[in-house]
Amino acid sequence: MAELQFREALRDAMTEEMVRDENVFLMGEEVAEYDGAYKVSQGMLDQFGPKRVIDTPISENGFSGMGIGAAMMGLRPIVEFMTWNFTFVAFDQIISNAAKMRYMSGGQLKVPIVFRGGNGAAGQLAATHNNSTEAFYTNVPGLKVIAPSNPDDAKGLLKSAIRDDDPVLFMESEVMFGMKGEVSDEEDYLLPIGKARIAREGDDITLVAHSKSYWLAMEAAEELAKQGYEATVIDPRTLRPFDTEAVIDSVKQTNRLVIVDECSPYGGIASEVAFRIQSQCFDHLDAPIARVTAKDTPAPYAKNLIEAWMPTVDEVIDASKKALYVN
């Protein structure tokens, strides 16, 4: 095991796959000469040259579509978005083209492309730059969506995403790029897409949380433990497809479920998970499923407001206690 930053794990995954397969290339804003807006691709231009590490103009629709066209011809592009906030101008390419090409062509084509970049709120950036976009994209059949919470998963899943023959949306977080963690140094470290990770086991309540929210759930679980309640924490890692079985298995033991999700509450990831669990193991539930999400407003700028807008550890603890019927 080596201790790596999240960004280094991502870089290692891309580098290994580019060494392995000539058809893999990276493009995006500032990925080459600038060494990456968040230094994820640092040094990659030097290693692979401008043919395979390509700076793009600020044209998300254009370069997303160009990547999809290249993937239709058998290349395996990695398209970096500076953040997922900026993908709204590339929405048509991702939804109308990447997701649906195979279907509309009756299976004649595949689109092996990875779109990746920072997702979710990242501080006092105000409403346009603090979107959690996963619920928009998980809504679209034809896409796969991954949102890892730690460097190890980031590496193993990104490598798998690059090798996957379907379009994969890989969501990172600007505030997690510097996070350090142990990363497997297995030679070809691949994690399966669509499998959750049970991060902590406890009999009293199940917490489900992905990406940044996962760390809130873990902190809440530690605090709950101090108060005598043991939580299972599940990191789904992949949001589409979603490992429903892992949650069902856990809820059958704990009978209680809280979902932590940075998306807006209306139709977010939490809504989908809650629906699946109530419909598939209703008889096992001893309390209504609870969720902790962002507030139902655009993200505000002011420090106190954005802090109140984001899900917090205290909210996760409160929601858990409500589900446990304790106060």
Partner 1 sequence: MADETKNPPRKRAAKKAAPKKTSASNGKAASPQTVPDAADFRMYTEGGHTHESLGLEKDELLEMYRSMMLQRRFEERAAQMYGRQKISGFLHLYIGQEAVSTGTIHALEPTDPIITAYRDHGLGLARGMTANESMAELFGKIDGSSRGKGGSMHFFDVEHHFYGGHGIVGGQIPLAVGLGFAGKYKGTGAVAVGFFGDGAINQGAFHEAANLAALYEIPVLLVCENNGYAMGTSVDRSVSQPDLYKQAYGYNMTGALVDGMDVFTVYHAMRELAKQAREENKPALVEIRTYRYRGHSMSDPQKYRTKEEMEAKKNEDPIIKLKAYLIDHKLADNAQLDAIDDEVKAEVNASVEFAENSPYPPLETMYEDVYVQEDYPFIV
Q: Which residues are the active-site residues?
A: 60, 129
User: Could you tell me which of 189, 150, 172 has the C-alpha nearest to residue 15?
Assistant: 189
User: Could you tell me which of 202, 215, 224, 211 has the C-alpha nearest to residue 318?
Assistant: 224
Contact flags string 118-147 toward partner 1, x per CB under 8 A: -----------------------xx-x---
Applying CB under 8 A, among 43, 103, 188, 307 the residue interacting with partner 1 is 103
For residue 65, state whether it binds partner 1 (rule: CB under 8 A). Answer: yes
DSSP H stretches of helix in the chain: 6-20, 44-48, 60-72, 91-92, 101-104, 134-138, 151-163, 211-226, 244-254, 269-280, 303-309, 313-323
Applying CB under 8 A, among 30, 35, 166, 230 the residue interacting with partner 1 is 166
Q: Please, which residues bridge with residue 235 across strands?
A: 197
Contacts of 112 (CB under 8 A, 6+ apart): 71, 76, 164, 165, 166, 167
Stretch 175-234 residues interacting with partner 1 (CB under 8 A):
194
Applying CB under 8 A, among 19, 21, 47, 74 the residue interacting with partner 1 is 74
For residue 70, state whether it binds partner 1 (rule: CB under 8 A). Answer: yes
User: Could you tell me which of 127, 105, 63, 56 has the C-alpha nearest to residue 297?
Assistant: 127
Question: How many of the chain's residues bind partner 1 (CB under 8 A)?
Answer: 47
For residue 108, state whether it binds partner 1 (rule: CB under 8 A). Answer: yes
Shortest distance, position 167 Cβ to partner 1, whole Å:
9
Applying CB under 8 A, among 30, 35, 39, 61 the residue interacting with partner 1 is 61
Applying CB under 8 A, among 35, 42, 62, 298 the residue interacting with partner 1 is 62
Stretch 292-311 residues interacting with partner 1 (CB under 8 A):
none
For residue 79, state whether it binds partner 1 (rule: CB under 8 A). Answer: no
Contact 98, 112 (CB under 8 A): no
Query: Alpha-carbon distance 299 to 305, whole Å?
Result: 8
Shortest distance, position 57 Cβ to partner 1, whole Å:
6
- Angstrom CA distances, 124 to 6, 129, 200, 211, stand at 22, 9, 31, 19
Shortest distance, position 211 Cβ to partner 1, whole Å:
21
List of residues contacting partner 1 (CB under 8 A): 25, 51, 54, 56-57, 59, 61-75, 89, 92-93, 96-97, 101-110, 112, 141-142, 144, 164-166, 194, 241, 244, 276
